Chain A
Amino acid sequence: MTNDISAPNIEQPDAFYADLLAAHEGLSKAESDAFNARLILLMANQLGDRQILADLLVAARPA
């Protein structure tokens, strides 16, 4: 499973990263936190799979 999570999969990574930062521009800390929470939930719904979501929660843990 770890391999699946680690393998590059994002199309046009630089463009996505710029979009992510741009989406937060002008937002207060509280608004950014709320935005991130909504984004996580939207992404989780796209994935759906219980096992993948559980693996991601492990992968995102602080080292």
Chain B
Amino acid sequence: MTKLFEAPLYPYKRTADQDADIPARHPVVVIGAGPVGLAMAIDLAQADVPVVVLDDNDKVSVGSRAICFSKRSLEILDRLGCGDEMVHKGVVWNVGKVFFGDRQVYDFNLLPEEGHKRPAFINLQQYYCELYLVERIRALQAEGKPVEIRGGNTVTNVTQMSDGALLRVDTIDGDYDLEADWLIACDGAGSPTRRMLNLDFVGRVFEDNFLIADVIMKADFPTERWFWFDPPFNKDQSALLHKQPDGVWRIDLQLGWDIDKEEEKKPENVIPRLKQMLGDEVEFDLEWVSIYTFQCRRMEKFRHGRVIFAGDSAHQVSPFGARGANSGFQDVDNLGWKLKLVLEGKAPDTLLDSYAFERELGADENILQSSRSTDFITPKSEISRIFRDAVLDLSEHHAFARPLVNSGRLSVPCIYDGSPLNSPESEELPERTRPGSPAPDAPLKRSWLLDQLTGDFVLLGIGCAIPNKTERLGVSIKGLSVGVVEIGPEMRERYLGDASQAVYLIRPDQHVAARWTSLDWNKIEQALATALGSGDRTK
């Protein structure tokens, strides 16, 4: 079987930059062609911002790695033009089982909220996600969009300049220099960029090792998520079984911190454990096995002048809750439009400080959630174990205890409460769509709301007519009017509450900037200025 991750996808090719007398300068250079770096490049290229992606490798990542993509990520990927590919290939599951010790304590059926285009999440190997992103970049290139991926380009030095960054890049043909107005470091948890610039990666909250394995089942096996607390085959630790496409099941075995990685990885040690886990009669092939080490921490500041960090390079959390790649996509979503407006001179450079503010908030939330999950899964004291075990014991017969069982709280998008880009509000509208929150999807007559919120600022009029297109403060605003007869129950509940009409100013990343119950262009202009980071700072 030829594996997807063995074929070079963006092999090294010599470029004119390598023969330039003075370093070529690009508006944006992205380091790292993982899911976050590729998504960043797509977001910029779609908006006609020229971007070059540098990666030391030329292939998608090996093994399944990030496997759980949340609804918000799928919505972002829809905006980036590859949501359909992800969802068609991905696996949707709703049934989960929870085991404690040697017994099953309960099972559950997730009943996701209705009225959303995308499911709550899908399971998909990271390499498929990367493949679809690369294919999307190829399609953008075919349309003449300014985007390049340079495989086999290793950044060996980064120098910060007042108006950009200077890079030294190593290739098989020798090295060359390159300048960027803005450098986006998407080079992962071990970020060489962070190290080259001597920047911190503080707040090590906890650390752990996971043995992760992809197995191919030879017979049918249910499409369910199984989670074990303290199973006999992995005493005092946890285990997770998850379905992926192509008949591949993903297994995560928590190993603790002080282990012999090489010993644990040997098939003769892995296979007997998996047999205990799956049952002796289940036949499987071990496709891939790896040990994943994480530390839970984040950079103190995500922006350092003209160098901006996104994804795991800026923050790392435990795998419980799938907050790695999913939060990386939210970083990209937040950064793309801001960078474009700053490059075009339509917003002040300080708009990018709001990226740091908002996404640092997101990282803190992820670290908090992830710490709580870890405290439940791996109790840190005798009494915390007593309570944890009590919750699990009770969960077998008492439904009330089940919400206390924490095997990871699935990534939901951060609400940017307190962001300097939010406008204050004075009117009664649903809390869920307050300024700073991601606009929730809702069905329209012939489409979905979020499919209409693409790229520009959008002025959404619900029961209130808005001009199709306007320009204010040099920024174009798309108008979207939802007529009274088109307002369905979901839109009413999520956007109107008791109000009969509402106007929402929605940012290009689909987060609410401001909202009112009537159309007032003065207020809209003021809110737009605030959302561009150029509003009145004294208030």
Interface residues of A (CB under 8 A from B): 33-34, 37-38, 40-42, 45
Q: A37-B387, A41-B391, A45-B401 are in contact. List 19 more A-B contacts (CB 8 A).
A: A33-B386, A34-B386, A34-B389, A34-B390, A34-B393, A37-B389, A37-B390, A38-B390, A38-B393, A38-B394, A40-B387, A40-B390, A41-B390, A41-B394, A41-B401, A42-B394, A42-B398, A45-B398, A45-B400
Interface residues in B381-415 (C-beta closer than 8 Å to A): 386-387, 389-391, 393-394, 398, 400-401, 404
Q: Are B400 and A37 in contact (CB under 8 A)?
A: no
Q: Which residue of B lies closest to A46 (CB)?
A: B400
Q: Considering the complex of A and B, which 3 residue pairs feature the smallest CB-CB distances, nearest first?
A: A37-B390, A45-B400, A38-B390
Closest approach, in angstroms, between the C-beta of B397 and any C-beta of chain A? 11
Q: Are B389 and A41 in contact (CB under 8 A)?
A: no
CA distance A38 to B364 in the complex (A): 31
Q: How many residues of B contact A (CB 8 A)?
A: 11
Q: What are 5 pairs between A and B in contact, CB < 8 Å? A: A37-B389, A40-B390, A41-B390, A42-B394, A42-B398
Closest approach, in angstroms, between the C-beta of B364 and any C-beta of chain A? 21
**Interface SS, B side:** helix
Interface residues of B (CB under 8 A from A): 386-387, 389-391, 393-394, 398, 400-401, 404
Name the B residues within 8 Å of A37 (CB-CB).
386-387, 389-390
CA distance A38 to B398 in the complex (A): 11
Name the A residues within 8 Å of B387 (CB-CB).
37, 40-41
Name the B residues within 8 Å of A40 (CB-CB).
387, 390
Name the A residues within 8 Å of B401 (CB-CB).
41, 45
CA distance A40 to B400 in the complex (A): 13
CA distance A37 to B392 in the complex (A): 11
Q: Which residue of B lies closest to A39 (CB)?
A: B390
CA distance A20 to B341 in the complex (A): 67
Name the A residues within 8 Å of B394 (CB-CB).
38, 41-42
Q: Which residue of B lies closest to A48 (CB)?
A: B400
CA distance A47 to B393 in the complex (A): 20
CA distance A56 to B213 in the complex (A): 45
Name the A residues within 8 Å of B386 (CB-CB).
33-34, 37
Closest approach, in angstroms, between the C-beta of A22 and any C-beta of chain B? 20
CA distance A34 to B400 in the complex (A): 18
CA distance A25 to B68 in the complex (A): 48
For A38, A40, A42, which residue has the most chain B Cβ atoms within 10 angstroms? A38
Name the B residues within 8 Å of A38 (CB-CB).
390, 393-394
CA distance A38 to B394 in the complex (A): 7
Closest approach, in angstroms, between the C-beta of A17 and any C-beta of chain B? 22
Name the B residues within 8 Å of A41 (CB-CB).
387, 390-391, 394, 401, 404
CA distance A34 to B389 in the complex (A): 8
Closest approach, in angstroms, between the C-beta of A41 and any C-beta of chain B? 6
Closest approach, in angstroms, between the C-beta of B493 and any C-beta of chain A? 24
CA distance A34 to B100 in the complex (A): 15
Name the A residues within 8 Å of B389 (CB-CB).
34, 37
CA distance A37 to B401 in the complex (A): 12
CA distance A38 to B397 in the complex (A): 12
CA distance A38 to B388 in the complex (A): 10
CA distance A50 to B389 in the complex (A): 22
Name the A residues within 8 Å of B390 (CB-CB).
34, 37-38, 40-41
Closest approach, in angstroms, between the C-beta of B312 and any C-beta of chain A? 34
CA distance A50 to B401 in the complex (A): 16
For B386, B389, B394, B398, which residue has the most chain A Cβ atoms within 10 angstroms? B386
CA distance A41 to B389 in the complex (A): 11
Name the B residues within 8 Å of A45 (CB-CB).
398, 400-401
CA distance A42 to B394 in the complex (A): 9
Closest approach, in angstroms, between the C-beta of B524 and any C-beta of chain A? 38
Name the B residues within 8 Å of A33 (CB-CB).
386
